[in-house]
């Protein structure tokens, strides 16, 4: 995959940024053991710093999670500019076939602007109800969730509300969100091959599910920074950019939290007069209007506030209004010389140790486990090892390097998601323990496995680096016995 219409490159000094601030950003991220996957800093329209931590790379898309919401908001803005919608349209007007007296009483006051500003009046996120809809009709499921507060009066982060924006757009235009945005945004920004998950009825999920490149995130931020202009062409109306990114509803009163500075139309307000789109586990599009800068980041972190704190402490104060008079022209804009550029794999592994245990080369039957892996097999050689598994009725075989990521291979992350690139590495901790990491290079997720002998089989302990579940830091144990 090649990057189309890349942003111009420059040095930090030429764009008024002290190199020391960028170096401090990298060093502080490393010191705090925060797993960033990529970053790209743009100032005055030029990329001045960029980096990818292997096995992530510039040509690999990354799941955006809720950063997708800001793109959905943009589509609604474009539809409003076309005269297809207004912010005050009642949502029931788009789905008359669903309206019953109960639904009308529940939803009659709900308008598009309430969906945009996360002020629907719900007291819990509606998304779990959508996922649980046995008939796959997410619109019907949303309309059935009780509204307990007056719409517009109460902020609640509600991913189901963003899905409804996608459903309204598709009902109005006859196109999916992805189809609608492709000629109006993605192609014009040079964003190639974006993908977006759909619900069982074929409607893009809206609030999550978009995957694009890091540079694509940066381009989107630059478009908003330039108030809808892209290389002399107006793509978004200026008043929509202002409306979407301004304060619409309060979402807390913590002065030091970037999740309590107010919410716009699917954009978060931040401290320092900054705004952002963001997604779970550290996917960011940070727009700094006063500094004329954009920072795009992909990550696999649980503490998203920590990343923003480091940005405010290092990069923000490094910017000035003048070209910095220091000889930095020879400094690569990616700053890679001083950055540890690899996402770490298994810890405590001996890179020289090579073993072939008795359980190698056998298909092993696993007990029921949350990962739906029914069988597994390990094959060891001098240079590489193979990990095979049968999951959801499909057999996959992956190559791993000894403390070296081996990428350029694909596997499905989940049955509903197309196959994605994975990278594998591993090694022996001691005479009986083999440790391995599987990194899904288009997602935030890395699965760490530890294999040890257990009676007449082995025990496979699995932990994931980030998770929506409260007990994500607890290793999951599955024991199994070699098949006869």
Within 122-273, residue ranges assigned H as helices are 127-131, 138-143, 159-173, 177-181, 187-189, 214-225, 238-245
Look-up: residue for tokens 């409804």? 164
Band (pLDDT 50/70/90 cuts) for residue 338 is low
Q: What is the pTM of this model?
A: 0.94
Taking only the tens place, the pLDDT of each residue in 372-388 is: 888 899 999 999 999 99
Q: Alpha-carbon distance 214 to 222, whole Å? A: 13
Mean pLDDT, residues 405-433: 88
Element (H, E) at 141: helix 138-143
pLDDT of residue 324: 79
Q: Could you tell me the residue ranges of all domains in the chain?
A: 364-482
Closest-CA residue to 4 (of 63, 56, 59, 83):
59
Q: Predicted confidence band at 476 (pLDDT cuts at 50, 70, 90)?
A: very low
Percent helix, strand, coil in the chain, to 5, is 30, 30, 45
- Provide the pLDDT confidence category of residue 368 given band limits of 50, 70 and 90: confident
Residue 189, Cβ neighbours under 10 Å: how many?
Answer: 22
- Name the superfamily (CATH) of residues 364-482: Calycin beta-barrel core domain (2.40.128.20)
Determine contact, residues 431/454, Cβ cutoff 8 Å. Answer: no
Counted residue by residue, the chain has a size of 484
Query: Which phi and psi (to 5°) does residue 341 adopt?
Result: -100, 20
Smallest Cα–Cα separation from 52: which of 217, 190, 214?
Answer: 214
Q: End-to-end alpha-carbon separation of the chain, Å?
A: 45
307/284 Cα distance (integer angstroms):
10
Tens-digit pLDDT profile for residues 88-108: 999 999 999 999 999 999 999
DSSP code for 54:
B
The pLDDT of residue 230 is 97
**Token digits for 82?**
């076309």
């Amino acid at each position: 995959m090649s990057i189309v219409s890349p942003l111009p490159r420059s040095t930090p000094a030429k764009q008024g940024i002290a190199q020391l601030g960028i170096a401090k950003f990298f060093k502080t991220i490393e010191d705090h053991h925060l797993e960033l996957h990529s970053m790209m800093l743009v100032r005055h329209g030029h990329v001045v710093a960029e980096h990818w931590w292997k096995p992530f790379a510039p040509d690999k898309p990354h799941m955006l999670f809720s950063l997708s919401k800001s793109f959905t908001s943009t589509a609604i803005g474009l539809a409003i500019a076309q005269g297809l919608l207004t912010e005050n349209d009642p949502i029931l007007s788009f789905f008359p076939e669903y309206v019953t007296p109960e639904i009308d009483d529940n939803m009659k006051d709900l308008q598009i602007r309430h969906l945009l500003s996360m002020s629907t009046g719900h007291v819990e996120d509606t998304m779990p109800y959508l996922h649980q809809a046995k008939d796959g009709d997410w619109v019907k499921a949303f309309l059935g969730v009780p509204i307990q507060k007056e719409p517009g009066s109460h902020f609640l982060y509600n991913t189901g509300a963003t899905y409804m924006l996608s459903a309204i757009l598709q009902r109005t235009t006859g196109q999916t969100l992805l189809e609608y945005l492709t000629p109006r945004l993605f192609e014009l920004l040079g964003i190639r091959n974006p993908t977006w998950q759909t619900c069982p009825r074929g409607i893009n999920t809206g609030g999550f599910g978009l995957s694009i490149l890091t540079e694509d995130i940066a381009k989107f931020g630059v478009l908003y920074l330039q108030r809808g202009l892209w290389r002399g062409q107006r793509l978004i109306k200026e008043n929509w950019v202002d409306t979407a990114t301004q304060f619409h509803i309060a979402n807390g009163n913590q002065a030091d939290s970037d999740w309590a500075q107010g919410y716009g139309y699917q954009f978060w307000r931040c401290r320092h007069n900054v705004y952002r789109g963001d997604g779970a586990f550290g996917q960011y599009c940070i727009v700094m209007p006063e500094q004329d800068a954009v920072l795009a980041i992909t990550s696999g972190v649980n503490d998203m506030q920590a990343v923003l704190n480091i940005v405010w402490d290092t990069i923000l104060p490094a910017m000035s209004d003048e070209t910095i008079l220091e000889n930095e022209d020879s400094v690569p804009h990616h700053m890679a010389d001083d950055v540890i550029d690899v996402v770490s794999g298994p810890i405590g592994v001996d890179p020289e140790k090579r073993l072939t245990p008795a359980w190698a080369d056998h298909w092993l039957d696993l007990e029921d486990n949350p990962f739906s892996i029914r069988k597994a097999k390990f094959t060891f050689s001098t240079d590489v090892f193979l990990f095979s598994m049968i999951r959801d009725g499909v057999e996959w075989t992956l190559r791993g390097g000894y403390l070296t990521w081996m990428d350029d291979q694909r596997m499905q992350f989940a049955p509903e998601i197309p196959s994605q690139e994975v990278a594998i590495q591993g090694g022996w901790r001691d005479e009986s323990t083999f440790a391995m990491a599987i990194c899904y290079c288009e997602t935030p997720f890395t699965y760490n496995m530890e294999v040890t002998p257990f009676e007449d089989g082995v025990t496979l302990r699995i932990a994931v680096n980030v998770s929506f579940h409260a007990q994500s830091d607890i290793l999951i144990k599955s024991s199994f016995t070699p098949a006869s």
